């Protein structure tokens, strides 16, 4: 018994020493604490990153909706009180957001000459869904003032995509005769008339309008409210582009011409350059239906001494940019020609109100420079 006690006391002392050592080592060890802290912090960190990603996507959708609604109310305001909501809705629907977005039906209202449109949508989340947030709500509102002088009433608009404001979207040399019915010229870049006013009620440019009638420079560019029309262009020519000369009063036919019926109008697809020649009405003096002429991979050319009138007609320039696409009048040496355009009028025709349309996808040889031979 006398021996056992000292041995037991020694064992207890050793145990106490080991315990104190282990407690001291545990206090000094930090790796486990870091792991615990990181495991606790990772959830809110992932939540913040996920929220940033989902919010960024929602902001992008909101910007798309805002652009679509801006274009919608501008298009409606240009159409006026009678059918502006129909026009606005069609324009908005042509610029729909991505398929994963759930958008409500847009609402439109007017008060006097003020036109308002609004829409709301929900954008499903991808990363913060695990935190209980299944979607992000977005909404936009646009207002257009249709009071006199506030709405753009240009007959010819050069959108001039992706060019600087100093680029000449319109050039008029040597006093061409531009006769527009109570409306103006407009360029989202610049224009020059080289001292010849062109005779329009206003020459409006985001850059400069030099030497033109009633110039207005440094104005805000206008949005492309006609962009949706490009979806109605149908091509038939493929790589073929032999070109065709259409004489006034004749029915076009041949390997470069495809005729078809689209809805209530007749469509002609011309493969390559379309040259208009002779004098008189292109599709008759009193047509009962609209005509749409689609020029694929080519320009619209006026032959010397031609005097063409096109009633209830829309001419569309389109293609794959393999060939220039412009409107060319004869110039110099006393050569001249006249082109008189009156647009499609059937409400069921998507081209209603448009006489000449250049596909916004075109970039090759699209600048028009009209000289003294142009009327």
Kindly state the tokens that stand for 267. Answer: 């469509």
pLDDT of residue 299: 97
DSSP character at residue 352: T
DSSP character at residue 241: -
CB of 57 within 8 A of CB of 64? no
Strands 135-145 and 154-158: unpaired
CB of 212 within 8 A of CB of 194? no
pLDDT of residue 25: 52
Radius of gyration of the chain (CA): 34
CB atoms within 10 A of CB 47: 15
- Compute φ and ψ for 39, nearest 5 degrees: -65, -35
CA separation, residue 273 to residues 121, 133, 208 (Å): 45, 57, 32
Provide CB contacts within 8 A for 161, sequence distance 6+: 224, 360, 363
CB of 309 within 8 A of CB of 282? yes
Q: Which is nearest to 341 in space by CA: 159, 90, 122, 156?
A: 156
CB of 119 within 8 A of CB of 69? yes
Provide CB contacts within 8 A for 349, sequence distance 6+: 263, 264, 265, 290, 292, 314
- Cα angle 309-314-317, degrees, rounded to a multiple of 5: 110
Per-residue burial over 312-345, b if 16 or more Cβ lie within 10 Å, else e, is bbbbbbbbeeebbbbbbbbbeeeebbbbebebbe
CB of 236 within 8 A of CB of 269? yes
- Based on the number of CB atoms within 10 Å of its own CB, is 210 exposed (0-12), middle (13-18) or buried (19 or more)? middle
Kindly state the tokens that stand for 276. Answer: 């208009």
Q: Which is nearest to 316 in space by CA: 356, 275, 349?
A: 356
pLDDT of residue 35: 54
**122, 125, 129, 132: CA torsion to nearest 10:** -30
CB of 191 within 8 A of CB of 160? no
Per-residue burial over 111-133, b if 16 or more Cβ lie within 10 Å, else e, is eeeebbbbbbbbbebebbeeeee
**Residue ranges of the chain whose pLDDT lies below 50:** 1-12, 14-15, 19, 23, 26, 147-151
Provide CB contacts within 8 A for 63, sequence distance 6+: none
DSSP character at residue 135: E
Domain boundaries, the chain: 32-145, 154-216, 228-370
Cα 209 from Cα 169, distance rounded (Å): 10
Cα 159 from Cα 66, distance rounded (Å): 20
């Amino acid at each position: 018994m006398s021996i056992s006690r000292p041995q037991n006391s020694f064992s207890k002392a050793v145990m106490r020493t080991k315990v104190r050592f282990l407690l001291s080592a545990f206090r000094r060890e930090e790796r486990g604490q870091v792991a615990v802290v990181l495991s606790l912090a990772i959830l809110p960190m992932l939540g913040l990153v996920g929220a940033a990603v989902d919010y960024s996507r929602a902001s992008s959708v909101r910007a798309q909706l805002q652009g679509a609604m801006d274009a919608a109310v501008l298009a409606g305001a240009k159409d006026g009180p009678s059918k502006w909501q129909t026009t606005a809705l069609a324009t908005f629907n042509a610029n729909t957001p991505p398929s994963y977005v759930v958008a409500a039906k847009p609402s439109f209202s007017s008060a006097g000459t003020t036109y308002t449109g609004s829409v709301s949508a929900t954008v499903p989340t991808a990363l913060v869904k695990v935190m209980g947030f299944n979607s992000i709500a977005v909404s936009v509102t646009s207002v257009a003032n249709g009071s006199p002088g506030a709405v753009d009433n240009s007959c010819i608009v050069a959108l001039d995509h992706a060019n600087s404001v100093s680029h000449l979207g319109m050039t008029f040399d040597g006093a061409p005769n531009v006769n527009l019915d109570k409306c103006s010229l407009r360029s989202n870049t610049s224009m020059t008339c080289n001292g010849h006013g062109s005779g329009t009620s206003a020459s409006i440019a985001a850059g400069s309008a030099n030497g033109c009638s009633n110039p207005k420079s440094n104005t805000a560019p206008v949005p492309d409210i006609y962009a949706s029309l490009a979806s109605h262009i149908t091509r038939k020519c493929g790589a073929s582009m032999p070109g065709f000369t259409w004489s006034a009063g004749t029915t076009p036919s041949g390997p470069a011409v495809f005729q078809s019926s689209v809805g209530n109008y007749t469509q002609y697809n011309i493969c390559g350059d379309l040259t208009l020649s002779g004098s008189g009405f292109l599709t008759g003096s009193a047509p009962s239906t609209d005509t749409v002429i689609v020029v694929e991979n080519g320009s619209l050319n006026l032959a010397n001494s031609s005097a063409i009138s096109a009633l209830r007609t829309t001419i569309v320039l389109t293609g794959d940019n393999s060939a220039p696409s412009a409107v060319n009048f004869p110039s110099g040496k006393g050569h001249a020609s006249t082109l008189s355009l009156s647009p499609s009028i059937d409400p069921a025709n998507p081209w209603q109100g448009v006489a000449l349309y250049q596909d916004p996808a075109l970039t090759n040889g699209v600048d028009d420079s009209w000289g003294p031979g142009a009327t």
